[in-house]
Amino acid sequence: MAEASGQEQDNFLLLRLMAASLVIYGHGNAISANAAFPDVFVWLGWGSYSGAIAVSAFFVISGFMITGSYLRRRHLPSFLWARFLRIYPAYAFCLVVTAYLVGAMVTTWPLADYLRDHQVTRYVSKNLELGKYLAYHLPGVFNEGQVGGAVNGSIWTLPAEARMYLWVAIAGVTGILGRKYLASVLIAALIAWGVMRPASIPLVPLAEFVSLAGYFALGAFCFVNREWVYVGWPVAMAAGVLAWLAHGSAVHPFAMAVALTSFVFAFAYDTRWYGFNRCGDYSYGLYLWGFPIQQVVAHQWPGTSGLANAAIAWPLAMATGIVSWHVVEKPALGLKALPGNAYKRLASVKARASCKVAPWLPEDNS
């Protein structure tokens, strides 16, 4: 993996877009309540549906990239600022537009009553907290629909993602993350903790976060140990066969995790077509907007199959994701360097002040 990650290009952009698209496909049957076509992964007997597999892949990628992000910076304010810019601007944009435009258009309430209701502002403010319990409903919106009338069920993963950032920050600040042996021991201990006592892991307050944390930990482990972790399609196919053979056994979830992780890095580093890298990173916007747009599709065309729901919603969500990237996400990410630049300016000011106070000090030419 060290050799593979050192190459000029990879296919993480395309892989994340595929995963976000798979989430939309996976939600189709639940949102439409018309499973005329069963989920392909369930039909093939993989023991999980496409949306769950895609989200797990997201967390493997995130664990790998976020660990690398901290180790490249080794500067906590810069790291946290970069994480904030990656999650919050697009997320806030989605929440506000969903609450005040989409909700206002489809609510069964009188518009004035809808806009005055505290549930609308709470939908935005509560979800921006990224606490363990989110607000999923808006007054009079999708009440006749499936999945409990949730406006955006996809956002449940974001609090788990934010907590993984905090784990990386803690491991980085304490110096553990920068030492391969200590980092590996910590990750292995946390995975064992999650298996034996999942309800007591710090920063992982909900049971549904535990498996996501495990996939994130696998990605982090792969980055820390990239000098000896092998990647490629032969490794991924062998891991996939083992996971298939383990189906129905107690070790299947772990074999599946290894197989999915192997697939993620084989696709990213051993797929030699990089044409999509000329495009933007539309996956986050696609992920955020897929669910509410699928709910709108189900609202407008009730009774359509889950596959049709996903097929209609995908291009609409993709178009919105493209707007989100170019209008919100990319400009926000352009501000990443602010903490580092401020730190450098402060250091420069201190250095000049030191020279003024002690002008007799010899010049250091080392």
- 351 occurs within a structural domain: no
**Within a domain: residue 363?**
no
> 157, 91 in Cβ contact below 8 A?
no
**Rounded CA separation 163/157 (Å):** 10
Residue 229 belongs to some domain of the structure: yes
pLDDT given for residue 345 in this prediction: 63
Cβ-Cβ contacts under 8 Å for 288 (sequence gap 6 or more): 90, 91, 94, 152, 154, 155, 321, 324
What are the two backbone dihedrals, phi and then psi, of residue 365, each rounded to the nearest 5 degrees?
-105, 15
364 domain-assigned: no
Full-prediction pTM beyond 0.95?
no
Asked whether residue 298 is domain-assigned, the answer is yes
Q: Residue 268 has what pLDDT?
A: 96
CA distance readout (Å), 195 to 63, 204, 251, 351: 18, 13, 12, 51
109 SS3 class: coil
- Cβ-in-10-Å burial (0-12, 13-18, 19+) of 64 comes to buried
What's 362's DSSP letter?
A: P
Predicted pLDDT at 310:
97
Q: Is residue 148 part of a domain?
A: yes
User: Is residue 99 one of the residues assigned to a domain?
Assistant: yes
Residue-level pLDDT at 88: 97
Question: What pLDDT sits at residue 362?
Answer: 35
pLDDT the model gives residue 340:
62
Residue 341's pLDDT is: 63
Tell me, yes or no, whether 79 lies in a domain: yes
pLDDT mean values, one per 10 residues, the chain (366 residues): 88 97 96 88 86 97 96 92 96 98 96 96 97 95 86 97 97 95 96 92 92 97 94 94 89 94 96 90 98 96 93 98 97 85 58 47 35
* C-alpha to C-alpha distances, 91 to 198, 223, 332, nearest whole angstrom: 28, 27, 12
Domain region containing 159 = 2-345
How many structural domains comprise the chain? Answer: 1
